[in-house]
Structure 1
Amino acid sequence: MVSISLFILGALISTVISQECVPYTSSYDFTGYPEIWEKPNSTLFNSAEFKQINSTIDWSKVPKVTPHTLSSSGDIDQTGYSSSDPDCWWSYNLCTTPKAHGLQPDATICPEPGAWGLTYDDGPNCSHTVFYDFLKENNQKATLFYIGSNVAQLPNEAQRGLADGHHICVHTWSHQYMTTLTNDEALAELYYARKAIKYVMGITPLCWRPPFGDVDDRIRAIATQLNMSTIIWDLDTNDWNEAPDGTETSAQVDTTFQGFVNMGLNGTYNNSGTIVLEHELDNNTMSKAIEWYPKIKAAYKYLVPIASCLNITQPYAEANFTYPSFAEYISNG
């Protein structure tokens, strides 16, 4: 019966994808932004707007770290990097406590015992109606890490995320490995993604998550001067790596989810909670999120968005937007 239900669910989401993933025009004008899904370039850097933003950064507080490079396979090349990890480079050593002065540690866990910090990356997705409806029906809020290019292409879908009460954070403009970018490129990836969110949704997020987790003290310092804290994760579901685009089978992803459910049941998080990486990426990831949600909810005391798990009641620069504290959130759950 379960397999039949999941088949029907997958078919339903696939149908919604075919119905919804049709390009549409909107009244929003993204002239002056980077090209959709393109890394910002020198033409943009010469604009008066970018020069003004660049001038607000105290570059003396940004560590002088040479950008990393990509290998022929598209992964980051770590050849020659010091084993002492001088730059607190997450991709090298999963470092989340900066070594440069004046930078706050990355958020990786929810401090409340038994809490599962619910996050979904890579939205908004053109086919997320079934998924968002599911969250709404379960009175469940999450932290959504939105890509600027997606917001520009899908403003209606982005607006729904906020309207449904989810916590919105930045996931850069075009989903690059951030430590491979120049200072100007990294600044533009963060600035224009947040600008798009402000333009479409009316909020200025104070948080971001680096694509692939790729961050070091240079990138943290740039984000910090934009008043954005860095949120990583403690557990990775590997939902993003399911075939055909990834290398894992559906059963392997299920095994990872089951392992995390077991951790909730066996007391692993009795002293503090966790922040978990999931995705709004495609049919596979959203189907997995729906499938495993009841089991996760049964295994953990609380499923909460990151703003509530960290007791951040003003997650945006705009003072008129407030968010429930942890105690307030669970009392309304």
Structure 2
Amino acid sequence: MLSATLGLLALASTSLAHPGRDWQEQAKIKDATAECTYYDFEPLQQLIGSYPSIWDVADLQGSGITEDVKALFAQLQPNIPKIAPRGTINGDWTGVSYDNGADPDCWWTNTGCTTPKLEGLPVDITECNPALSWGFTLDDGPNCTHNEYYDYLESINQKATLFYIGSNVVDWPLEAQRGLADGHEICAHTWSHNYMTALTDEQAFAELYYTKKAIKDVVGVTVQCWRPPFGDTDDRIRWIAEQLGMRTVIWSDDTDDWNWVNVGKATIEANYKDIIATAPKRPQGTIVLSHEINAGTMELSEEFLPQIQKTFTGGVMPVSRLAHFGRSVSLTSLACRSPSA
């Protein structure tokens, strides 16, 4: 793993302070339109040229991409598993042929595989212990309208693991800073939120590297965990993430809350109720996929958190304290872990 090398690059920076507005002032805004009005964050503007274009698939082709980052990728490239990209970045697998039975690449999207076939890769983290525990995760942040929801989480002393998208961190840096200030755990959720197994080696590296860099630059933490958008990962993507010092976190239950605009809130409420009813019957806890992607998903979370806290007496918790993703700590000490840990 090249975490020592990464420490010599831009990831060694401290979080950026804004000489004007800060995250506390931004957190006081409750009107959604005002919350989502772009603001000038001058310290980040000084770095913006060193990032890929926001919301585009990341790569190493921009004029501001530094030579040391290119050198790091060149160092990794010969050892990246020889697994070809498949499908499109939008998840179109038309014409893709894959042996599900053998599942040679541990391709989660097709088989749900979370135990890599490639020697040396750790299994994905998918569940929590003890029983009656709920691994509370929120994807796709920071969302510019999250102030009231974060206020609510603070009012009930509830912490979560926040999987932040790199482009969102650049768009909404003060919102990202609040996530850490409120005591939540921060993990990466790629730069542009596309299907990772469709990307080239360079793109996959850049998606992960620059999300980690943006979080370090803005928030001040070096993340050690990531979640693939749509769960789409295989041993090639896991290997790249592992070299960048990030453990792969999936989930064991899915609220499908992002889809409420299509299926209606009643359907998502039924999903929550099913997880609450069935998960306590299992010998281990659950990691649950939910989102801060919009007001609807946050309202659904707020609706069910009191019942979740009451039912899951083993704890409603972040996946792990970030330090626990370090390789010096045995995974057997984690509250949330892989099934075989």
In the superposition, the TM-score normalised over structure 1's length comes to: 0.84
Aligned positions of 1:58-69 closer than 5 A? 59-60=78-79, 62-69=80-87
Counterpart of 2:136 in 1: which secondary structure? strand
Q: 1:285, 1:272 → 2: CA distance?
A: 26
Tell whether 2:177 aligns with 1:162. Answer: no
Equivalent pair of 1:203/1:316 in contact (CA under 8 Å): no
Tell whether 2:70 aligns with 1:51. Answer: yes
Q: Which letter maps to 1:296?
A: I
Partner of 1:131: 149
Partner of 2:278: 263
Equivalent pair of 1:313/1:325 in contact (CA under 8 Å): no
Runs of 4+ in structure 1 deviating by more than 6 angstroms, as ranges, are none
Partner of 1:81: 98
Partner of 2:3: none
Residue among 243, 253, 257 paired with 2:268: 253
Partner of 2:304: 292
Partner of 2:24: none
Counterpart of 1:57 in 2: which secondary structure? helix
Equivalent pair of 2:188/2:223 in contact (CA under 8 Å): yes
Equivalent pair of 2:252/2:286 in contact (CA under 8 Å): yes
Residue among 165, 184, 188 paired with 2:206: 188
Structure 1: which 5+ runs fail to align? 1-14, 318-323, 327-333
Q: Which letter maps to 1:90?
A: W
Moved more, 162-171 or 38-47: 38-47
Displacement, 1:20?
Answer: 0.8
Partner of 1:330: none
Equivalent pair of 1:112/1:272 in contact (CA under 8 Å): yes
Q: 1:87, 1:314 → 2: CA distance?
A: 27
Residue among 18, 26, 37 paired with 1:22: 37
Q: 1:313, 1:151 → 2: CA distance?
A: 21
Q: Which letter maps to 2:82?
A: K
Q: 1:32, 1:67 → 2: CA distance?
A: 26
1:187-236 alpha-carbon deviations (Å, 9 max, x no partner): 00000000000001111101000000000000000001111100000000
Equivalent pair of 1:108/1:274 in contact (CA under 8 Å): yes
Residue among 201, 225, 242 paired with 2:260: 242
Counterpart of 2:106 in 1: which secondary structure? coil
Q: 1:74, 1:177 → 2: CA distance?
A: 6
Q: Which letter maps to 2:227?
A: R
Check 1:70–1:149 CA distance in 2 against 1; reply closer, same or farther (3 A cut): same
Equivalent pair of 1:205/1:316 in contact (CA under 8 Å): no
Equivalent pair of 2:59/2:207 in contact (CA under 8 Å): no
Structure 2: which 5+ runs fail to align? 1-29, 328-332, 336-341
In the superposition, the TM-score normalised over structure 2's length comes to: 0.82
Check 1:43–1:238 CA distance in 2 against 1; reply closer, same or farther (3 A cut): same
1:77-111 alpha-carbon deviations (Å, 9 max, x no partner): 47311122110000001100000111000000012
Q: 2:168, 2:98 → 1: CA distance?
A: 34
What is the count of residue pairs matched by the alignment?
296
Q: 2:309, 2:258 → 1: CA distance?
A: 21
Equivalent pair of 1:108/1:231 in contact (CA under 8 Å): yes
Counterpart of 1:215 in 2: which secondary structure? coil
Q: Which letter maps to 2:320?
A: A
Tell whether 2:294 aligns with 1:276. Answer: no
For the aligned residue pairs, the C-alpha RMSD in angstroms reads 2.2
Displacement, 1:249?
Answer: 1.4
Tell whether 2:117 aligns with 1:104. Answer: no
Q: Which structure ranks higher in relative contact order (CA pairs < 8 Å, sequence separation ≥ 6)? A: 2
Q: 2:40, 2:178 → 1: CA distance?
A: 17
Counterpart of 2:127 in 1: which secondary structure? coil
Counterpart of 1:307 in 2: which secondary structure? coil
Partner of 2:338: none
Aligned positions of 1:88-99 closer than 5 A? 88-99=106-117
Displacement, 1:325?
Answer: 7.4
Q: 2:128, 2:95 → 1: CA distance?
A: 30
